[in-house]
Amino acid sequence: MPVNPELLEILVCPETRQKLRNATDGELSKLEALYNSGALHDRSGNKVASAVKEGLVREDGQVLYVVDEGIPIMLTEESIELEVRPHR
């Protein structure tokens, strides 16, 4: 279920202060494929522990903040880069 539009009005990226939007099905599908292959990592380099079902994408489309059980996790280190590079 997408994040309430009223909440989206006040939420911004804690790193850049850019606005956020609900992730598209296409973006979530790409993350699901990466998760299933074991290649999905957060920005701290940790493997993402569970499949991403919901998320908020930064206005520039580069970063996703996971929404867990309706609660946006607005921690920069737990966000996921959408321009995924191979993890070392």
For residue 65, give its domain range: 5-81
Render pLDDT for 3-57 as a digit per residue (tens, 0 to 9): 888 999 999 999 999 999 999 999 999 999 999 999 999 999 999 999 999 999 9
* pTM given for the model: 0.90
pLDDT for the residue 57: 98
Write down the residue that tokens 């998320």 correspond to.
Answer: 55
pLDDT (0 to 100) of residue 1: 74
pLDDT at 84 over 70: no
Residue type, 58: R
Task: List Cβ neighbours of 83 (8 Å cut-off, separation of 6 or more).
Answer: 62
- 14 within domain boundaries: yes
State the Cα angle at 27 between 54 and 32, rounded to 5°.
70
pLDDT digit string, tens, across residues 67-79: 999 999 999 999 9
Domain count, the chain: 1
For residue 74, tell me if it sits in a domain. yes
For residue 86, being part of any structural domain is answered with no
In a domain, 66, yes or no: yes
